[in-house]
Amino acid sequence: MAMKYLDKYPKNLAKSLWVLKPCWAVMKLFAKTVTHRSMTILYPYEKEWIPDNYRGRPGLRFDKCVGCGMCVRMCPTACIKLIEVPDDEGKPVMRPQVNLGRCAMCGYCAEYCPLDAMTVTPDYELAEYTRYDLLYGPRRLNYEGTTPGMEVKLEVTLPSDIENGNPERRVSFFDLDRPELTDSKCIGCKKCAKVCPVNAIEMVEKGVNDKGKPILRPVIDNSKCICCSNCVLDCPKDALQIKEVL
């Protein structure tokens, strides 16, 4: 490899006529911009082309969302909050609300959404008159014309797959990890079943204890589970742990 610039410079400036060459360079551009248009984009009237995956404000597809709270946990600026809103049939459901005054547009909510209900949107003109207007409720977060390109897939390759010589297999981050029960710690309080947003946990009777009461243990439906770790966080006795598949 050779140096491209250091081979030619520094030059003997007397040979390049002191100041004439920069004047000539400027004059060339002047002639170009007088006949053609200049590089400026007249912003409010013209806008730059932006791709689908542009990270503007977060968008939410209300129907796809299950209210698992993954976005709330992953948000680095803590701008997302779960609030209770009525859904299409009037039933109260938990959905995220985004405070765009704090949002850093990092795209983590869209990336870590297990169901890709959260998306990034190319919407970046977000100025409002009051701070209150910057609170985007679940319905307002909806973005018209969400395309598949706006979803951020979290696809990973397992280190074990690479070792096994199957490096091309990519799996969704949320299809792998499942909560695992430590049976001795569980007290059968049913909390995990209550907080599960997708109803993947079912409390099953497993015999009777010495007082004659039924022993309840959670059974996790692996096909339904989205690995949101709500049950893990809400377990009062730390009986549930996410088992990481590597």
Partner 1 sequence: MVQEYSSILDWIVFNDPMKNPYYPFVDTYNLPFDIGYKLWEILGGAIAWLINLIFPGNPVSTWLVCDATSTLMGLLIFMLLIFIIAFVSTLIVLWMERKCLGRMMDRRGTMVGMKGFLQCVADGLKTFMKENTAPKKVDKMTYWWCVSLIVGLSVLVLCMVPLSQRWFVVDYQTGLLIIMAFFALAPFLILVSGWAQNNKYSLIGGMRAAELMISYEVPMLILIATTALLAGSFNIGDIVNAQNETVWYIIPQIIGAITFFFCATAEAERVPFDIAEAEAELVEGWQTEYAGMKWGLIMLGDYMRGSVSCSMFAILYLGGWTLPFIGNGPIPEIVFLLKSYLVFFFMILIRCALARVRTDQILNIGWKVFMPLSVINLAIVLLLKVGGVF
Partner 2 sequence: MMTDSIVPVKEMEDRMDTDKMWVIMGPQHPFSHGLWTLKVQLDGEIVTDAEPIVGYLHRGWEKETENRTYPKIIPMADRLCYAASMTYTHLYCMTVEKALGIDIPEKAKYIRIVADEVCRIQSHLMWLAAVGTDLGNLTVFLWCMREREFFLDLNVKLCGARMTTNYPRIGGVRNDTTELFDRDIIRAVDRFEKAMWDIIALIDDSSIFVSRMKDISFLTREQCANMGLTGPAMRGCGVDFDIRRDDPYDNYDQVDFEVPVLTKGDSYSRYMIRIEEMFQSCDIIRQAVKKIQALGKNAPYRIKTPSKVPAGTAFTRLEDPRGESLMYLVSDGTDKPYRLKVRSPIFTNVSTSKAMCLGCRIADVPAILAQIDMCLGETDR
Round to whole Å and give the CA distance between 236 and 187. Answer: 9
Binding mask 110-129 for partner 2 (x = CB under 8 A): -x--------x---------
Residues 154-183 that bind partner 2 (CB under 8 A): 155-159, 162, 167-168, 170, 173, 176
Q: Which one of residues 80, 97, 108, 136 is an interface residue with partner 2 (CB under 8 A)?
A: 108
Which one, 42 or 246, has the nearer CB to partner 1? 42
Q: Which of 34, 35, 37, 39 binds partner 2 (CB under 8 A)?
A: 39
Closest Cα partner for 174 from 192, 154, 193? 154
- Using CB atoms within 10 Å of the CB of residue 173, give its burial: 0 to 12 exposed, 13 to 18 middle, 19+ buried: middle
Cβ pair 64, 51 in contact under 8 A: no
Residues 6+ apart with CB under 8 A from 65: 95, 96, 115, 117, 118, 138
Cβ atoms within 10 A of the Cβ of 63, count? 10
Q: What is the dihedral of CA 241, 70, 233, 181, to 10 degrees?
A: -30
Of 33-41, 120-128, 134-142, 203-211, which segment contacts partner 1 by CB under 8 A?
33-41
Q: Is 108 exposed, middle or buried (0-12, 13-18, 19+ CB in 10 A)?
A: buried
Q: Is residue 76 within the footprint of partner 2 (CB under 8 A)?
A: yes
Measured from the CB atom, is 38 or 184 closer to partner 1? 38
CB closer to partner 2, 108 vs 136: 108
Kind of pairing, strands 80-86 and 135-136? unpaired
19 binds partner 1 (CB under 8 A): yes
Please enumerate in sequence order all residues whose Cβ is within 8 A of that of 50, keeping only pairs 6 or more positions apart, or say none: 122
Number of residues lying near partner 1 (CB under 8 A): 14
Minimum distance between the CB of residue 214 and partner 2, rounded to whole angstroms?
35
**Chain positions contacting partner 2, by CB under 8 A:** 1-6, 9-11, 13, 16, 18-19, 21-22, 24-26, 28-29, 39, 48, 50-51, 53-55, 74, 76, 104-108, 111, 120, 152-153, 155-159, 162, 167-168, 170, 173, 176, 244-246
Q: Which residues bind partner 1 (CB under 8 A)?
A: 19, 22-23, 25-27, 29-30, 33-34, 38-40, 42
